Amino acid sequence: MSRSLKFSLALSAVFAASAMFSACNKQEVAQSKTQPAPIAEVAPQQSKSVVVYFSQTGATKKLAQVFKEARNADEFELQLVKPLPSTYDSTIAEVRAERESKQWPALVNAKLDVDKYDTVFLGYPIMFGTFTTPIYTFLEANDLSGKVVVPFCTYGSGGRKASANELKTLEPNANVTLAYGISNKRINAEGGVEKAKEEVATFFANLETGKTEEMLMGGFSEQRSLTAEDSAVFAAATKDYAYLGLKPLSVSSQVVAGMNYLFVCEMKAFGGPATQTNVKIFKPLPGRGEPEMIVVEK
Ligand SMILES: Cc1cc2nc3c(=O)[nH]c(=O)nc-3n(C[C@H](O)[C@H](O)[C@H](O)COP(=O)(O)O)c2cc1C
């Protein structure tokens, strides 16, 4: 991974939020500001729903298939007129230029027949802390007023909550629900799609029962000092994220089928200024895999 990408990921870890910590282990996911969408009523298996997504390197496409199958939805993959470059560095340069100029990239198929649908599952990779730029093109070309919009994303380290919040701001007349997110590392790992399927099932259950973000955080113990075992879990889960310069300060945990950890950390990405962030980690039951970094988020 290039230095600049890592830097952008680190920035996103500072500013963006993310993820599906709880859902990955049968916990709750929810939205923070608006009332939970009555998704059970508007997107049952038989409802008219569509999965709209963009994917550069395939992670979000995998997740889109999970949503499509879970809800028997139609599929609408956004296609760029001019594909993104094949290297990270040039992709970063191009996406940064788009963001700075707010010139969103042309799509072959920007216009969707939205009238056919009451629910839009909207999928994207996180880029620069929020949804990738073709999503702006799609939003500008379509009126999602009155639709239920269910965001889902893949990311390096985070961006779920930040992207969903931006979506809510841009689409005030849509019912934007809480979002599902998973890191590219987890979905691309062996068994990753199966794991995503389980999490997405939990995600839908959470939508149906109207859980909130606050409810998700219930069940964690108070923050406490790290034990040697906590430190070992943290080191194992974050070994590929050295560029974030994470230093765990305290931890809380939650017993599930395995253990959830919420580490409060100091982060100094590339020796930059120290900020405080939360790192969510899941440790499976013994013999069921290594501790996983779920998300870095504020
Ligand atoms: C230009 C660019 C910017 C990115 N920015 C972020 C970011 O800010 N935060 C993050 O967690 N991941 C970031 N990523 C990682 C992607 O979100 C991640 O690789 C995603 O799973 C790619 O999805 P795709 O395979 O569907 O294209 C970025 C990737 C690229 C290429």
> Per-residue confidence of the chain (298 residues) as pLDDT tens digits?
443 344 344 334 333 333 333 333 333 333 333 445 555 444 555 569 999 999 999 999 999 999 999 999 999 999 999 999 999 899 999 999 999 999 999 999 999 999 999 999 999 999 999 999 999 999 999 999 999 999 999 999 989 999 999 999 999 999 999 999 999 999 999 999 999 999 999 999 999 988 776 776 667 789 999 999 999 999 999 999 998 999 999 999 999 899 999 999 999 976 789 999 999 999 999 999 999 999 998 7
222 in a structural domain: no
247 in a structural domain: yes
Same-domain status, 149 and 69: yes
223 in a structural domain: no
131 lines ligand 1 (CB under 6 A): no
163 lines ligand 1 (CB under 6 A): no
Neighbour count for residue 267 (Cβ, 10 Å): 21
Range of the domain at 279: 228-297
**Could you give phi then psi for residue 130, rounded to 5 degrees?**
-145, -170
Q: Burial, 199: exposed, middle or buried (Cβ in 10 Å; 0-12, 13-18, 19+)?
A: buried
Q: Are 122 and 144 in contact (CB under 8 A)?
A: no
Which residue has the CA at smallest separation from atom 3 of ligand 1?
127
State the Cα–Cα distance between residues 280 and 264, nearest whole angstrom. 9
What pLDDT does 270 receive?
Answer: 67
**DSSP codes of every residue in 203-232:** HHHHHHHT-BHHHHHTTPPPPBPPPHHHHH
Same-domain status, 192 and 81: yes
Q: Are 77 and 55 in contact (CB under 8 A)?
A: yes
State the Cα–Cα distance between residues 71 and 243, nearest whole angstrom. 38
What pLDDT does 5 receive?
Answer: 42
Same-domain status, 32 and 112: yes
Q: Domain tally for the chain?
A: 2
Same-domain status, 203 and 290: no
57 lines ligand 1 (CB under 6 A): yes
CA distances from 239 to 101, 182, 280, 287, 293 (A): 36, 18, 14, 20, 9
151 in a structural domain: yes
Neighbour count for residue 73 (Cβ, 10 Å): 23
State the Cα–Cα distance between residues 267 and 220, nearest whole angstrom. 22
277 lines ligand 1 (CB under 6 A): no
183 in a structural domain: yes
Same-domain status, 101 and 235: no
Which residue has the CA at smallest separation from atom 9 of ligand 1?
9
158 lines ligand 1 (CB under 6 A): yes
What pLDDT does 245 receive?
Answer: 93
Same-domain status, 142 and 80: yes
59 lines ligand 1 (CB under 6 A): yes
Same-domain status, 239 and 208: no
pLDDT per position as a tens digit, 83-120: 999 998 999 999 999 999 999 999 999 999 999 999 99
Q: Which residues, at least 6 apart from 248, have a Cβ–Cβ distance to it below 8 Å?
A: 226, 230, 231, 234, 263, 264, 265, 279
55 in a structural domain: yes
Same-domain status, 267 and 153: no
pLDDT per position as a tens digit, 258-276: 999 999 999 997 678 999 9
Given ligand 1 and candidates 127, 152, 182, 298, which is best to mutate, with the most ligand atoms within 8 Å of its CB?
127
CA distances from 148 to 39, 178, 189, 264 (A): 8, 11, 31, 34
Same-domain status, 232 and 212: no
> CA angle at residue 99 from 94 to 102, to 5 degrees?
115
Helices (H) and strands (E) in the chain, counts: 10, 11
What pLDDT does 298 receive?
Answer: 79
53 in a structural domain: yes
pLDDT per position as a tens digit, 186-204: 999 999 999 999 999 999 9
**DSSP codes of every residue in 249-298:** EEEEEEEESEEEEEEEEEE-GGG---EEEEEEEEEPSTTS---EEEEEE-
CA 94 to ligand 1 centroid distance, Å: 13
256 in a structural domain: yes
Same-domain status, 188 and 45: yes
Same-domain status, 83 and 151: yes
